[in-house]
C-alpha cells in the first residue's frame, strides 16, 4: 500500500451511517454552537488579549483579532463544507485521509494530538492558578500551598522569611482534568449540558464587562491606536515587534490561540443528530459570536488601562487587575470574572479532551492506533478507554510540567491543520464533485486559497523556535507511523 492511498468516501459514509454500533447521536445544532463557544472563550480572551496588547500591538490588538478571525472564518467555511459532506468523527484527520492519503492524514492526526493534549493540559495549569485567586480574593481563604499547585520544575520567589518554595505536584490541575475526563466518559450529552450552563455564565460575564467597562474607556489609552514600530523586550529577555504592521501580525499570532476550539466542533460530527445541517451552524455560529465579543472586549480592556499596566501590575490575572484598579466601585465584578474564568477554562478543557478522544477514536478505527482507543462503553456509548488513557497522559503533563514551556505549539499545530482542511476542499471538489454537500464553501478555490495564505502568514509570525518544536514532534510521529501504523492500517487489507 502506498503512502498516499486515500480512504474511499463510501467507507467514510458507511461509518457515518453505522451509528447504532458506534457513537450515540445526541447533539443538536444549538449544542454544537455552545460546544464551540465553550472551547473558544476561555484562556484566550482572559489571558492572551492583555499579552498581545503588552507585547505586540497596544490598542490595535483589536486589529490583530480581526486578522486572526479572518483566517479562522476562511478555514471555518471549509470545515463547514467538509463536516456536512463527511459527517464522521476525526475533524481534519478524516478529511485529509479522504483527499490526500494516509501519510498526510497521519501527520495531521499526530498534529491534532499535540494540539488537543497540550492545549487541555496548559489550560488546566491556568485553571489551577485562578483557583488560588478565587480562594484568596473571593472566598478569603488561605491559598493552596505552593508545593501542591506547581510542578517540580517551578520555584517561588523568596518570601519575607527568605525561604524559597519548590513545587511537587499540581494537584488542582490534575483534579480538573480528571473530573472532566470522567464526565466525558459518562456521556457526550451530559457533557454538553454542563458545558451549556458554563457557556451561559461566562458569556454573560463578558457582556457585562463590555457594557459596564465602556464608560471607563479613556481616549488617551487608545492614542495612538497603532503605535510606532519598535522592539519590546519582555521580562524573560525575548524581543517582540511592537507597533506597526508587524506588531498587528504578531498580535494576530498571539491571539489566534483565543480562537482555537471551533474546529473541535467537527470532531463531534458522528454524535450529531443532523450533521449536514447542524455542523455548519455549529462551526460558523460559534465563530461569529466569539469574534464580535472578542473585538468589543479587547477595545474595552485596552481603553480602560494603558499598555504599561499590562506589562507590570496587570501582567497576571490582567482582566481582574484592570477592573480592580480602573473601575472603582466594581470589585464585585472582579470576583465574578474570577468565577467566569474558572468556568471558561473548565469548558475549554472539556472540549479539548472531547476532541482528543474523538481523533484517537477515528485513528484507531483505521488501524493507525491500537484498537483500545476505539472501544466504546456498552452503556454510555463513549470511547471510555481512550478517555482514561488521555486522562493519564494529559493529567501527568498538567501535574508535573510548567505551563509556560509549551509556548505557541498549540497554535502552530492548529494552523497547520487549517491549511490542510482548506486544501482538502479544493481536492474533494475535483475528485468527488457528485458528493452531496448540504453546505458549500463559496468562491472555491478563492476562499480556500486565501485561508491557506492567511494561516501560513500567521505560522510565519510564530518564529523558528516553534517550527523546531513541531519538527521534533513530527519526527517522533514518523517513528510511530513507520514502526506500527503503516503495518497495521486497515486500508492495506482493502487494496
More confident residue, 254 or 181: 181
Q: Which three cell numbers stand for residue 122?
A: 496548559
DSSP state of 149: B
Q: Which three cell numbers stand for residue 313?
A: 501590575
Q: Which residue did the predictor score with more confidence, 191 or 477? A: 477
What pLDDT is stored for residue 408 in this prediction? Answer: 61
Confidence of residue 19 (pLDDT cuts 50, 70, 90): very low
Q: How far is CA 238 from CA 91, 99, 402, in A?
A: 35, 40, 18
CA distance 183 to 300: 35
Sign of the CA dihedral 285, 418, 82, 94? negative
Mean pLDDT, all residues of the chain: 81
Nearest-5° Cα angle at 37, 423 to 421: 5
Residue 110's CB is within 10 A of a number of other CB atoms, namely 23
Q: Is the pLDDT of residue 60 over 90?
A: yes
Cis peptide before 254 (omega within 30 of 0): no
Domains (range + CATH), the chain: 9-493 (1.20.1740.10)
- DSSP H helical ranges for 86-142: 92-99, 102-133
- Phi, psi of 240, rounded to the nearest 5 degrees: -130, 140
pLDDT at 413: 79
CA-to-CA distance for 284 and 79, rounded, in angstroms? 9
Contacts of 13 (CB under 8 A, 6+ apart): 86
**Model confidence at 190: pLDDT above 60:** no
- Asked which of 142-146, 339-343, 346-350, 407-411 is least confident by mean pLDDT, the reply is 407-411
Q: Is residue 102 scored above 60 in pLDDT?
A: yes
- Share of residues in the chain with pLDDT > 90 (%): 18
| Averaged pLDDT for residues 140-167 | 78
Distances (CA, A) of 147 to 28, 125, 131, 136, 175: 43, 14, 15, 17, 15
Torsion of CA 151, 152, 156, 162, to 10 degrees: 150
Residue 487 pLDDT > 60, yes or no? yes
Amino acid at each position: 500500500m502506498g503512502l498516499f492511498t486515500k480512504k474511499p468516501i463510501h467507507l467514510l459514509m458507511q461509518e457515518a451511517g453505522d451509528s447504532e454500533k458506534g457513537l450515540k447521536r445526541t447533539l443538536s445544532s444549538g449544542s454544537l454552537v455552545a460546544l464551540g463557544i465553550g472551547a473558544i472563550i476561555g484562556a484566550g480572551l482572559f489571558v492572551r488579549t492583555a499579552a498581545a496588547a503588552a507585547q505586540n500591538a497596544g490598542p490595535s490588538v483589536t486589529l490583530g483579532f480581526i486578522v486572526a478571525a479572518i483566517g479562522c472564518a476562511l478555514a471555518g467555511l471549509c470545515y463547514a463544507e467538509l463536516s456536512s459532506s463527511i459527517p464522521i468523527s476525526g475533524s481534519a484527520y478524516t478529511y485529509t485521509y479522504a483527499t490526500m492519503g494516509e501519510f498526510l492524514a497521519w501527520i495531521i492526526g499526530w498534529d491534532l494530538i499535540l494540539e488537543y493534549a497540550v492545549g487541555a493540559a496548559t489550560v488546566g495549569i491556568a485553571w489551577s492558578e485562578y483557583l488560588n485567586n478565587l480562594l484568596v480574593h473571593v472566598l478569603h481563604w488561605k491559598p493552596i500551598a505552593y508545593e501542591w499547585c506547581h510542578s517540580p520544575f517551578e520555584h517561588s520567589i523568596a518570601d519575607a522569611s527568605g525561604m524559597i518554595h519548590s513545587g511537587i505536584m499540581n494537584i488542582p490541575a490534575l483534579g480538573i482534568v480528571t473530573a472532566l475526563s470522567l464526565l466525558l466518559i459518562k456521556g457526550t450529552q451530559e457533557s454538553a449540558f454542563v458545558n451549556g450552563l458554563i457557556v451561559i455564565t461566562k458569556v454573560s460575564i463578558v457582556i457585562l464587562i463590555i457594557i459596564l467597562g465602556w464608560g471607563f474607556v479613556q481616549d488617551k489609552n487608545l492614542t495612538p491606536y497603532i503605535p510606532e514600530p519598535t522592539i519590546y523586550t519582555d521580562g524573560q529577555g525575548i524581543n517582540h515587534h511592537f507597533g506597526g504592521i508587524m506588531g498587528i501580525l504578531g498580535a494576530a499570532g498571539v491571539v489566534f490561540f483565543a480562537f482555537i476550539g471551533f474546529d473541535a466542533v467537527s470532531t463531534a460530527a458522528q454524535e450529531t443528530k443532523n450533521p449536514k445541517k447542524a455542523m455548519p451552524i455549529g462551526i460558523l455560529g460559534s465563530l461569529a459570536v466569539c469574534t464580535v465579543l472578542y473585538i468589543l472586549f479587547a477595545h474595552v480592556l485596552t481603553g480602560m488601562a494603558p499598555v504599561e499596566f499590562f506589562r507590570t501590575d496587570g501582567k497576571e490575572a490582567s482582566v481582574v487587575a484592570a477592573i480592580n484598579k480602573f473601575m472603582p466601585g466594581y470589585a464585585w465584578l472582579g470576583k465574578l470574572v474570577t468565577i467566569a474564568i474558572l468556568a471558561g477554562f473548565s469548558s475549554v478543557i472539556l472540549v479539548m479532551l472531547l476532541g482528543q478522544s474523538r481523533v484517537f477514536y477515528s485513528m484507531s478505527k483505521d488501524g493507525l492506533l491500537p484498537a483500545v482507543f476505539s472501544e466504546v462503553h456498552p452503556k454510555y456509548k463513549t470511547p471510555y478507554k481512550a478517555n482514561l488513557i488521555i486522562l493519564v497522559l494529559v493529567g501527568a503533563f498538567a501535574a508535573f510540567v510548567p505551563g509556560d514551556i509549551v509556548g505557541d505549539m498549540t497554535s502552530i499545530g492548529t494552523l497547520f491543520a487549517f491549511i490542510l482542511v482548506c486544501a482538502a476542499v479544493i481536492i474533494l471538489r475535483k475528485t468527488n464533485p457528485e458528493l452531496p454537500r448540504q453546505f458549500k464553501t463559496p468562491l472555491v478555490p478563492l476562499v480556500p486559497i486565501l485561508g491557506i495564505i492567511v494561516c501560513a502568514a500567521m505560522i510565519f509570525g510564530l518564529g523558528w523556535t516553534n517550527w523546531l518544536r513541531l519538527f521534533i514532534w513530527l519526527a517522533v510521529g514518523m517513528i510511530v507511523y513507520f514502526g506500527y501504523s503503516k503495518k497495521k492500517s486497515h486500508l492495506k487489507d482493502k487494496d
